[in-house]
Structure 1
Amino acid sequence: MLKYGGALGAFGVVAPALAACSGGPDSTSDTGGGGGADSVTAVIGYGNDQSWDPTLTASAFSVASNHHIFEGLLDTDPITREPYAALATEPPADAGATTWSFTLRDGATFHDGKPVTADDVVFTFDRILDPETQTLTRGFFAGWLKEVKKTGDNTVDLVLAFPFPDGLSRLTLAKIMPKHILGKSGAFKDLDTGLPEVTIGSGPYRMTANQPLSNTSFEAYADYNGPRKANFKKMNWLSIVDAAPRVAKISGESAGAQIADNIPYANVKQLEQDGLTVEGGAGMNHMFLLFNTDRAPFDDVRVRQALHYAIDTDKMIEAGLKGYGKAASSFLDEANPTYRKAKTVYGYDPDKAKALLDEAGVSGLKVTLMASTVSWIADCIPTIKASWDAIGVETTLDPQETSALFTKLDQKANYQVVASASNPNQLGIDADLILRYNYTADNIWMGYSRWAGASEAKNLFRLMDAATREPDQEKKKQMTQEYLDVVAENAVIYPVVHTELVTAWDADEITGIQPQPYPGINLLKAKPA
C-alpha cells in the first residue's frame, strides 16, 4: 500500500500508502526553473516521494502533477469538475448509454514523440480493471465498466455494465499511459518512483527531473495539441512539508516562489500584509477518526459514538483551525451536491457521551490516539485529549509522521483509534466515488478498521451497490443520502470537522489561479502576469 502514496494524502494527508502525504524533511531546492516571465516556482505542502503511477497513487503531489503530465479520454475542470474532451475529440453523445464510443485527438503524441493509439487506451484500462494488479483506481471503475475494446487505430468503445453517467467525470482518473514504454518488464516500478524516462504522458508538460523530498521540474511539451496548452516554458514544484519553511519560501524578501498551497491558517493575515493573494476553498477536506473494530470496546458502536459526542468541536475550530472549519454534520461536506444533514449528528454533548459509555458497560477506558503530524491535525488533537479526559477517558496522544503511521496500519498494528486528514475531492466530488474510497468490502480502509465482515457493513455495501445502479438521478440521490445515515450511525471512519484549504500567490507575477478545496495546485489555466 505504500505505493498508493496517500490514502489520506491524496486527499490531504493520508497514508504513505494512502496519504497525500505530509511527511519527509524540509525541501527547498530551486533546481529546474525558477521565477520569471516564462517560468513558475510553486511550493507544495506534501511529499513528492510517493508513487507516480496514475493508476495507483493518491499522493497529493503526484496526483496534481499528473494532471499536467498525462491526459484522460476526458478530463475535468479542477474547480467545477465538469468533464471536457482531452485525448478524446468529444464526450459521448448519450451519457446514459451502455456503450461510450471515443475517437482520439488527431496528432496526439506522447512526450517521446510516439503517437497515442487505441492500443494505449486499452492497455491502460486493462491495467485498471485487472484484479491481480490491485490498482487504486479499480475501485472507481470495476463496478460499472465491463471492458474497453479497440474499434480502430484511434477509436475505442467503453462497454458499461449498466447506464452510469457519473462515470464520465471519473475518466480523468484513467490517465492514458504509453504501452510501448510501460508494457516492458519492470517499467511500472520505474514509473512508481517517478523516473522521468518513463513518467511520460501526452499532456502539456513533461517531467524533466524528480528529486524525492526536494523538487520536481517540468517543461512545456512543444508538440502538445490539446485543449489546455502550457502557459509557462518551465515549472519547478518544491516539496516543503513543514509549515514554516513553506511560508518563508513565498513571503518576504527571500521569497523564491510565486504560489504555495496548504497555507497554515495562522499565516493568512501575514501573507496578505506581504501583498499576496490568499484564498481558501471549502470542500471534503476533513479530520476523521478511524476505529479498530477488532479491539474491544471499539467494536461497540455506542463507544465509537460516545467518543465523537465528547469532542468539543467549537473549541477545536477556534483553537486549532482559527475558524477555518465546520463541525461535520454528514460524511459529506455541506457544499457537496448530494449533502443532506445526517440523522446522527455528533454535536458536542459530554453527558450523552458518558451515558453511552455507561450503557455499553465501559468504565476506566484508556485510549492511545495515534495521529499524523500534519500541522493542523497537530493543532486539533489536544482538544480531543481534553474532551475525552473530561468524560473520564484517559487519553494519550501519539503523533507521528504520516508515512510511519500508515506503515504501521499496513502492517496490521493493533491500534485503538487514529486521527488523520483526508480529502477524496482530489479524485472527484460524486458521493459514490467518495464513499467507495473508504467503504467497500475489499477496500484498504476496511482492512484498517476490520469492519467489512460486520452485518452492518454488509448491509451498507448492498445499499451502496443499489444506489450505484439506480438510473433515476433524484432517486439515486435519495438512496445515497439514506446509506450516508448508516455511515454516520456506525462511525467507523467518520469526519470530526471539515476544513478549508488555503492557497497563496503573487498576483503581480501569476494570474488565472483558482484555489482548490483539495490538496495541490492546477496551473493549466494560469499565466504569467
Structure 2
Amino acid sequence: MKQSLGGLSRRDVLRYAGIFGAATAITGGLGACGGGAGDSGGAAGKTIEATLAFTLSSGFDPMNASSAVATAVNQHVFEALIDLDPITRQPYLALAAAQPTVSADGLTWTVQLREGAKFSDGSSVTADDVAWSFQRALDPANKALMAGFITFVDKVTAKDQRTAEFTLKHPFSLFPQRIAVIKIVPKAKTGDAAASKAFDTAPIGSGPFTVMSANATAGVVMGVNTNYNGPRPAKVEKITLRTSTDGTARLNDLRGSSSQVIEAVPYLDVKSVGADRKVEEKQAFNHLFLMFNCAAAPFSDKRVRQALHYAIDADKVVKTALQGYGTAASSYLDAGNAGYQKAATVYDYDPDKAKSLLAAAGASNLSFELHTTDAAFIKDSAPVIIDAWKAIGVTATLNTMPSSAIYGNVVPGPNFRVLAASGDPTVFGPDVDLLLRWFYVNQTWTKDRHRWTNDAAKQCAQLIESAAKASGSEQTALWKQALDLIADEAPLYPVFHVKMVTAYDPAKLKDFQGAATTGLYFLGASRA
C-alpha cells in the first residue's frame, strides 16, 4: 500500500495542502481532545514506541481519512458501533451494547449504545451522534470516502438517547460488520464545514486513546482517553508512532531499541533482523496492480490488457523483487481471504499467448510510459516487469513518482495509459462486497482513473449490487461471476499479493501481533 489507500485524488491534495506541508505540526487545538497521559486500566506510565512505513498524508476525520498512518491511528481513537479487530478481522461490540437486532423483513436494524460511553472531551455519546455520523458520510456534499460502503442505508434516526434505528433500502446480510466503516463522531464538533475542518486535525473520539500531537514528518503521539469505558482499555500511557519510508531507518530504530516494533521490514533484511527479535509474516490483500486507461486505444481492447498480464512471470517478480514474500494472483482476492474464489482466468506466465493476443488486437510495436508510485516493492518490481514486456516486443519506459503526484496530476491527465501501484482497502474491512466496491463501483477509481465504463463494467456493477441484496450460496455465486468478469477484463488487476512482515522485540512488548494490513495496532498490547 502507498501512503494513501489507493492514492490521493486532486481534491484530496488540495484539501490537505494547507495542513500537511513539510514538517508542519498539526497540534493546534489538540488540547481540546481531552483525556491525557493519565493512568488507565493499569497503564502504569509505560510507552509503546513504534515506527510506521508511511508518512501522515491525510487528516483524521474518519469519514475521509485515507492515509495509512491516519487509518491506523483512528483504530485507537474512534469507535464504530461494531468494530473489526485489526488483527483477526473479526467483529466485536464497540459502542454497541449488544448485537444489532433486525426486523422480519430485513429492512430495519436497531442498535443499543453502551451505557456511559463518552468522547475524549467528556461529552456523552448519544444516538444523535450515531445518526449524525452516518448522515454526514451519506451527504453527497461531503464527498465522503466511506459513503460508497453504506449505499444500502436509507436513513438513521435516534429513537432515544441510547437507541439508533437504521432503515435500509434493501436487506443487506453484511450489515453488522459493515457498519464498522463509520466511526462515531460528536455532532457538536462536526456540525458544519468550519468545525469539520478543525476536527480533521484535532480529532475527538470515544476510543481508548486520543491524539496528543501529530506531524506530517515526525509522526503521531497518542495518550489515554481517561473517559473510555469500553471493552479494550489502554494498557500503556502513551503510544509514539514514528514514521519513515526508509527501510534502513526503520531497522535502525528496532535494532537501536528506540522502537519496540516496526512494520514493513525490508524483504532483503528479514533474515538478518536478529535472533532476539520476532518476525511475523502474514499473507495480505495488498498487491501490485496494473491499471490501464480503458478509454484510450489500444488499452481499450481487453486483449492488450490481458497480453501484458500473460507476459509477466509473477513468481519471478515475487522472487526477485520481494525475496519470495508474496503470492502470484489467482483472483482479485488473495487466497487468505475468507471469500476467496479462484478466477476463471488466471494469468499464468505465457509469453506466446501474450504475443498472439497483441497480434489479434493489432497492437504491434507497442510502446508506452509505465507510471509507478514510489512504494519500495513497486519500485523494485517495475524493472522486472518491463524486462518481461521487452521479451514480447513491448517497450515501456519507467516514470516513478510519489502517489500524490501520480493520482493528483498524472492519472487525471489526457496522456495517462498504464500504472503499476498498490492498494489495500482491507483496512476498512475484508468482506468481498467492500473490496469489490473499492475499485470497481466507485466514481474515483472506475470512472476517473481506469475509465472502465463499457458494458462489462456495467454488468460488473449490477452483479455486485445483486450480490449485496442476496445471501448465502446465491451471494457467493454472484461474487464469483463478478470476480471472473474482472479477471477477464483486467481494467485494474493484481499481478501478485504481498506478505506483510512485522518485527518486534518480545522482551519489551506483550500481547502484540502484526497485522495483515498496513499499520501497527496496540489495542490490548502493553510493555512487557
- TM norm. shorter chain > 0.5: yes
Contact 1:71 1:176 in 2 (8 A): yes
Question: What stretches of structure 1 of length at least 5 have no aligned partner?
Answer: 1-5
Distance in structure 1 (CA, Å) of the matches to 2:221 and 2:500: 24
CA positional deviation for 1:127? 0.8
Contact 2:78 2:206 in 1 (8 A): yes
CA positional deviation for 1:441? 5.3
The verdict on how the C-alpha distance between 1:46 and 1:370 changes in structure 2, with shifts beyond 3 A counting, is: same
Distance in structure 2 (CA, Å) of the matches to 1:67 and 1:95: 30
One-letter identity of the residue aligned with 2:77: I
Structure 2 partner of 1:295: 296
Structure 2 partner of 1:133: 142
Structure 2 partner of 1:518: 517
Structure 1 partner of 2:32: none
2:278 counterpart of 1:265: no
Report the secondary structure of 2:318's partner residue: helix
2:468 counterpart of 1:468: yes
Contact 1:49 1:213 in 2 (8 A): no
One-letter identity of the residue aligned with 2:487: A
Map 1:466-505 to 2 at 5 A: 466-470=466-470, 472-505=471-504
Structure 1 partner of 2:115: 106
Report the secondary structure of 1:282's partner residue: strand
One-letter identity of the residue aligned with 1:15: G
Contact 1:10 1:426 in 2 (8 A): no
Percent identity between the aligned chains?
36
Deviations along 1:25-66, one digit per CA (max 9) or x if unpaired, are: 999x9x999x99611111111111312110112211111100
Structure 2 partner of 1:213: 217
CA positional deviation for 1:162? 2.3
CA positional deviation for 1:9? 4.5
One-letter identity of the residue aligned with 1:212: A
Structure 1 partner of 2:16: none
Map 1:300-315 to 2 at 5 A: 300-315=301-316
Structure 2 partner of 1:285: 286
2:227 counterpart of 1:223: yes
Distance in structure 1 (CA, Å) of the matches to 2:185 and 2:131: 10
Structure 2 partner of 1:58: 66
- Cα RMSD over matched residues? 2.4
Map 1:94-493 to 2 at 5 A: 94=102, 97-142=106-151, 144-192=152-200, 194=201, 196=202, 199-251=203-255, 254-273=256-275, 275-409=276-410, 411-440=412-441, 442-452=443-453, 454-470=454-470, 472-493=471-492
Distance in structure 2 (CA, Å) of the matches to 1:36 and 1:417: 52
Contact 1:339 1:481 in 2 (8 A): no
Aligned length, in residue pairs: 506
Report the secondary structure of 1:476's partner residue: helix
The verdict on how the C-alpha distance between 1:319 and 1:410 changes in structure 2, with shifts beyond 3 A counting, is: closer
Report the secondary structure of 1:209's partner residue: strand
Structure 2 partner of 1:16: 8
Deviations along 1:176-234, one digit per CA (max 9) or x if unpaired, are: 01111111441222233x2x3xx110110011111112111111111210010001101
CA positional deviation for 1:161? 1.9
CA positional deviation for 1:292? 0.6
CA positional deviation for 1:134? 1.3
One-letter identity of the residue aligned with 2:183: K
The verdict on how the C-alpha distance between 1:369 and 1:293 changes in structure 2, with shifts beyond 3 A counting, is: same
Report the secondary structure of 1:147's partner residue: strand
CA positional deviation for 1:434? 0.1
Structure 1 partner of 2:80: 72
Structure 1 partner of 2:94: 86
Structure 2 partner of 1:3: none
The verdict on how the C-alpha distance between 1:418 and 1:36 changes in structure 2, with shifts beyond 3 A counting, is: farther
Distance in structure 2 (CA, Å) of the matches to 1:513 and 1:461: 39
CA positional deviation for 1:495? 0.2
Distance in structure 1 (CA, Å) of the matches to 2:347 and 2:57: 36
Distance in structure 1 (CA, Å) of the matches to 2:89 and 2:501: 19
The verdict on how the C-alpha distance between 1:445 and 1:455 changes in structure 2, with shifts beyond 3 A counting, is: closer
CA positional deviation for 1:447? 1.2
Contact 1:26 1:240 in 2 (8 A): no
Contact 1:272 1:278 in 2 (8 A): no
Report the secondary structure of 1:137's partner residue: helix
Contact 1:292 1:450 in 2 (8 A): yes
One-letter identity of the residue aligned with 1:125: F
The verdict on how the C-alpha distance between 1:137 and 1:95 changes in structure 2, with shifts beyond 3 A counting, is: farther
One-letter identity of the residue aligned with 2:114: R
The verdict on how the C-alpha distance between 1:170 and 1:99 changes in structure 2, with shifts beyond 3 A counting, is: same
Distance in structure 2 (CA, Å) of the matches to 1:500 and 1:314: 14
CA positional deviation for 1:409? 4.3
Distance in structure 2 (CA, Å) of the matches to 1:245 and 1:36: 29
The verdict on how the C-alpha distance between 1:120 and 1:410 changes in structure 2, with shifts beyond 3 A counting, is: farther
